[in-house]
Amino acid sequence: MFRIRKTQPVAIIDESRPRGWYRPSSGAVVRDVDPRDIERCLADAGGFLWVDINPTSAPQVAMLEKIFHLHPLVIEDTLSPNGRVKVEEYPGYLFVVVRAVRYVSETEDPHDIETYNLCCILGANYLITLHGTHAPGIETVWERVQRSPDLLERGSARMMHAVLDASVDAYFPIVEQLDDFIDNIEERVFAHFDQAALHDIFGVKRLVLQLRRHLAPQREVFSFLTNRPSALVPPEVQVYFRDIYDHIIRLNESIDTYRDLVASVMESYLTQVSNRLNIATKSLTVVATLSVPFVVVSGMWGMNFANIPLANWPHGFLVMFLGQLALGGALLWMLRRRGVL
């Protein structure tokens, strides 16, 4: 069964120094810059700084106000695990919140997933990211930068695009798993009519609705990043965000299709139940029809009267038995002719 989990931000590394990357305008790339040097890095207009903040570390969260001078409402939203998806423009930076997803490998359920908020603060020469314990999109981009630090030369907007693109791409394996899971349910309903499939149908239906609830608002976010002019997202970078917007549209269309498929499977399951009930009712009707002559005739000849026809005839029982079968057969023939059975 699928289950949606909303993760609370849990410590990634419980220390005051956030992890990050700094590419100066001249010199070698530096990893995990000391907090005391961040202001100097921000003053380097030709450089680029990526800081990954742990939202459960008070010293790291304090940096958002004391070093980056973010608006109090932005800081409040970054600490809210259930904040809504949105994009807001502040003087000097953009604040973006998207809902990301990942598979949960720690449980026995192969379809267990959890969702989390991924917050990005985009400045002219810096990018700040905040998220929960597990963030596949962040880790994917982090590994890319480890293998090729030259990616930092693309700038802050392209780096945010890489993070958001990897986070959105994490939805595709889940959607593909939904396809396989619905195919399996259809086979169980139509080929074998597994009554336990109803429980799984409701489970996948709940998952589809949850995914749709998380994906639908993100269209507005990426539409903003794609179409609205911004000094922080130049037109040549908006083309890349348009690709993510196309992915969001594809995912929403797929989710809508699966919602219709789940509804169709549900209707088919209920139809199968109704058909099987009708078959059982017809079978009971046949049995009841055949038993009517036996009940009526046996009741009449079982009355306590002295003179009952055929009571003393040696072949009376056989005649009555065959007569009852004949009456039952005549009733069945009549019901079939009228289309009742």
What does the pLDDT look like over 250-263, one tens digit per residue? Answer: 999 988 888 888 88
For residue 269, count other CB atoms closer than 10 A to its CB. 21
pLDDT digits (tens, 9 = 90+) for 103-141: 766 666 655 678 888 999 999 999 999 987 778 888 889
**Residue ranges, CATH 1.20.58, the chain:** 283-337
CATH number belonging to domain 1-169: 3.30.460.20
Nearest to 129 by CA among 160, 89, 158: 160
CA distance 163 to 135: 10
Nearest to 237 by CA among 184, 181, 162, 169: 162
**Residue ranges, CATH 3.30.460.20, the chain:** 1-169
The H-assigned helical ranges of 188-234 are 197-215, 218-227
* Two structure tokens written together for 170: 């994490």
Per-residue confidence band for 187, with pLDDT thresholds at 50, 70 and 90: confident
Bin 339: left if φ > 0, else alpha if -120 < ψ < 50, else beta: left
The whole-number pLDDT of residue 165 equals 93
Beta-carbon contacts of residue 55 (< 8 Å; ≥ 6 apart)? 9, 61, 78, 79, 130, 131, 132
CATH number belonging to domain 283-337: 1.20.58
- The SS3 assignment for 211 reads helix
As a whole number, mean pLDDT of residues 267-278 equals: 78
For residue 231, count other CB atoms closer than 10 A to its CB. 9
Quickly tell me which residue has 């630090």 as its tokens: 149
Task: Using alpha carbons, list the distances in angstroms from residue 326 to 310, 321, 332, 333.
Answer: 18, 9, 10, 10
CA distance 121 to 94: 6
Its pTM stands at 0.76
The whole-number pLDDT of residue 327 equals 78
CA distance 136 to 149: 19
